[in-house]
Structure 1
Amino acid sequence: MTDSPELLTVVYQFTGGLDREAAIYRQLLASSLRHEDEFELKPVESDLSTSDIIELLSKIDSKYVVFVQDSHLLGPNYLGAMLDYLQRRNVYIAEPFMFTGAIPKKVAETKTTQDYFFKRDTDIYGAVYHTRRLREFFEAVNNIDRSSVYVSYRLYWNIQNIAPLPVGYSVSTNTKAAIGHILDASATRLFPLIKSSSLELRIYIIRSLAHYLRGLRSTGRSSISARHISELTTMFSLEQLIRLVKPLQPFEAAWIESFIVPKDIGFLYKNLTSVDAYLVFEEAIKEREDSVLLYTIKFSDRSTFISKVYRPTSLRQSNNDPSVYDHYSKKITPESVLIFFDRPMQADDNAEYLYEYFVANYPEYKNSYFALNPKSEDWSRLEQKGFNLIPIFTTEFYEMFLESDLVVSSQIYNLQYQGKNLGNSRFVYLQHGVQLNDMSDWVNSKFFDVFVATGKPEEEYLAKYAPYETLNSGLPRLESLIRKSTNQKQLLFLPTWRFNLNNSSTENFIRSEYFQAINGPLTNKELLEHLEANNATLQVKLHPNVAVRSSLFSFSERVIKTEASYRDAITMSDFVFTDYSSAVLDASFIGIPIAYYPWDIKTFFKEQPYESRLDYKEQGLGPVFDSEDEIVQHIISFEYEKYNDEFDERKRIFFEGVDPKRINAKIVDKMLGL
Structure 2
Amino acid sequence: MQSTLPSVTIVVEGARRFVDQDTKDTPTIVDRIKAELGSQHTATIRYAERALSHKHLWEQITSIDTQYAIFIKEGHNWSARLFPNLIQTARATGAKLVEPYTFTTTLPNNPSWAARQTEYDYYRDLSIYGKLFDVDELRKLRAITTRIDKSTLYLTYRLYWNILHTQPTGEAYTSNNPMINSSGMKLRGSENQILPIATDSSLELRRGILRLLILALRRLRQRSKGNLSLEEMGRLIKHYNLTPLIELAKQHHPIESMWVQTLANPDSTEHLTKVLTDHDLYTRISTSPLELSPPSALINTVRTRDASTYIYREYRPKSLRNRSSSPREYDFYRRPITNRSTILLFDRPTEADDNAEHLYRFIAEKMPDYTNLYFALNESSPDWNRLLKQGFNLVNFYSPKFDQILLESDVVISSQLMNINRFGKDFSNSRFVYLQHGIQLNDMTAWLASNYFDLIVSTGEMETQYLRTIAPVETLASGMPRLQSLRKKDVRSNQISYMPTWNFKDHGLSDDDFSKTRTAKQINELIHNERLRQYLRSTETVLKIKLHPNLQGKSKSFHTSSDIQISYENYQNIIENSEFVFSDYSSVALDAAFAGVPIAFYQQDSEDFYRSQVYNRRLNYEALGLGPVFTKVEAIVSYIINEAYKFDRVAYKASIDSFFGTVDRKDICQAIMRRVIKL
Q: Is the 8 A contact 2:76 2:509 kept in 1?
A: no
Residue aligning to 1:298 = 303
Distance change >3 Å, CA 144–CA 114, structure 1 → 2: farther
Residue aligning to 2:13 = 13
Deviates more, 1:120-129 or 1:482-491: 482-491
2: CA distance, partners of 1:641 / 1:310 = 49
Match of 1:67 among 64, 71, 80: 71
Deviates more, 1:430-439 or 1:311-320: 311-320
Q: 1:573-627 CA distances to partner (integer Å, 9 max, x unpaired)?
A: 1111111221111110011101111122242212222222221122141111112
* Residue ranges of structure 1 left out of the alignment (5+ in a row): none
2: CA distance, partners of 1:233 / 1:520 = 50
Q: 1:210-267 CA distances to partner (integer Å, 9 max, x unpaired)?
A: 1011011022233332222222121111122111111221121111122234456610
Identity of aligned residues (%): 36
Q: Is the 8 A contact 1:102 1:172 kept in 2?
A: yes
CA drift at 1:570: 1.0
Distance change >3 Å, CA 504–CA 158, structure 1 → 2: closer
Residue aligning to 1:493 = 498
Q: In structure 2, what residue type is equivalent to 1:91?
A: A
Q: Is the 8 A contact 1:8 1:62 kept in 2?
A: yes
SS of residue paired to 1:351: helix
CA drift at 1:329: 1.7
Q: Is the 8 A contact 1:95 1:164 kept in 2?
A: yes
Residue aligning to 2:197 = 193
Q: In structure 1, what residue type is equivalent to 2:583?
A: T
Residue aligning to 1:164 = 168
Q: In structure 2, what residue type is equivalent to 1:392?
A: F
Q: Is the 8 A contact 2:189 2:195 kept in 1?
A: no
Distance change >3 Å, CA 307–CA 108, structure 1 → 2: closer
1:198-347 → structure 2 map (5 Å cutoff):
198-263=202-267, 266-290=270-294, 291-347=296-352
Match of 1:82 among 74, 81, 86: 86
Q: Is the 8 A contact 1:497 1:545 kept in 2?
A: yes
2: CA distance, partners of 1:94 / 1:507 = 29
Q: In structure 2, what residue type is equivalent to 1:528?
A: R
Q: How many residues align?
A: 672
1: CA distance, partners of 2:609 / 2:495 = 28
2: CA distance, partners of 1:403 / 1:393 = 15
Q: 1:422-451 CA distances to partner (integer Å, 9 max, x unpaired)?
A: 011111100011111211111111100111
Residue aligning to 2:478 = 473
Whether 1:664 and 2:677 are equivalent positions in the alignment is no
Residue aligning to 1:440 = 445
CA drift at 1:205: 0.7
Residue aligning to 1:387 = 392
Q: In structure 1, what residue type is equivalent to 2:453?
A: F
Match of 2:372 among 347, 350, 367: 367
Distance change >3 Å, CA 447–CA 502, structure 1 → 2: closer
2: CA distance, partners of 1:509 / 1:292 = 40
2: CA distance, partners of 1:265 / 1:543 = 40
CA drift at 1:506: 6.2
SS of residue paired to 1:596: strand
SS of residue paired to 1:201: helix
SS of residue paired to 2:205: helix
1: CA distance, partners of 2:229 / 2:498 = 49
1: CA distance, partners of 2:469 / 2:283 = 15
Residue aligning to 2:597 = 592
Q: 1:503-553 CA distances to partner (integer Å, 9 max, x unpaired)?
A: 667676556543443233434333333333433222222334544453453
Query: Normalising by structure 2, what TM-score?
Result: 0.93
Q: 1:303-360 CA distances to partner (integer Å, 9 max, x unpaired)?
A: 2211111111123344454432111122112221111111112111101111111222
Q: In structure 1, what residue type is equivalent to 2:241?
A: S
Residue aligning to 1:97 = 101
Q: Is the 8 A contact 2:345 2:376 kept in 1?
A: yes
Residue aligning to 1:132 = 136
Q: Is the 8 A contact 2:159 2:198 kept in 1?
A: yes
Q: 1:364-417 CA distances to partner (integer Å, 9 max, x unpaired)?
A: 222122222222222222222222222222111111111111111101111111
SS of residue paired to 2:456: strand
Query: Normalising by structure 1, what TM-score?
Result: 0.94
Q: In structure 2, what residue type is equivalent to 1:177?
A: N
Root mean square deviation, CA, Å: 2.5
* Residue ranges of structure 2 left out of the alignment (5+ in a row): none
Match of 2:39 among 16, 34, 40: 34
1: CA distance, partners of 2:337 / 2:228 = 47
2: CA distance, partners of 1:483 / 1:501 = 33
Q: 1:459-481 CA distances to partner (integer Å, 9 max, x unpaired)?
A: 11111111111111111000011
SS of residue paired to 2:381: coil
2: CA distance, partners of 1:361 / 1:345 = 27
Distance change >3 Å, CA 91–CA 281, structure 1 → 2: same
Residue aligning to 2:572 = 567
Residue aligning to 2:355 = 350
2: CA distance, partners of 1:517 / 1:110 = 36
Distance change >3 Å, CA 318–CA 255, structure 1 → 2: farther
Q: Is the 8 A contact 1:189 1:224 kept in 2?
A: no
Q: Is the 8 A contact 2:479 2:663 kept in 1?
A: yes
CA drift at 1:649: 1.7
Deviates more, 1:443-452 or 1:91-100: 91-100
CA drift at 1:659: 0.8
Q: Is the 8 A contact 1:5 1:61 kept in 2?
A: no
CA drift at 1:189: 2.8
Q: Is the 8 A contact 1:144 1:187 kept in 2?
A: no
1: CA distance, partners of 2:224 / 2:541 = 51
Q: Is the 8 A contact 2:184 2:215 kept in 1?
A: yes
2: CA distance, partners of 1:22 / 1:59 = 22
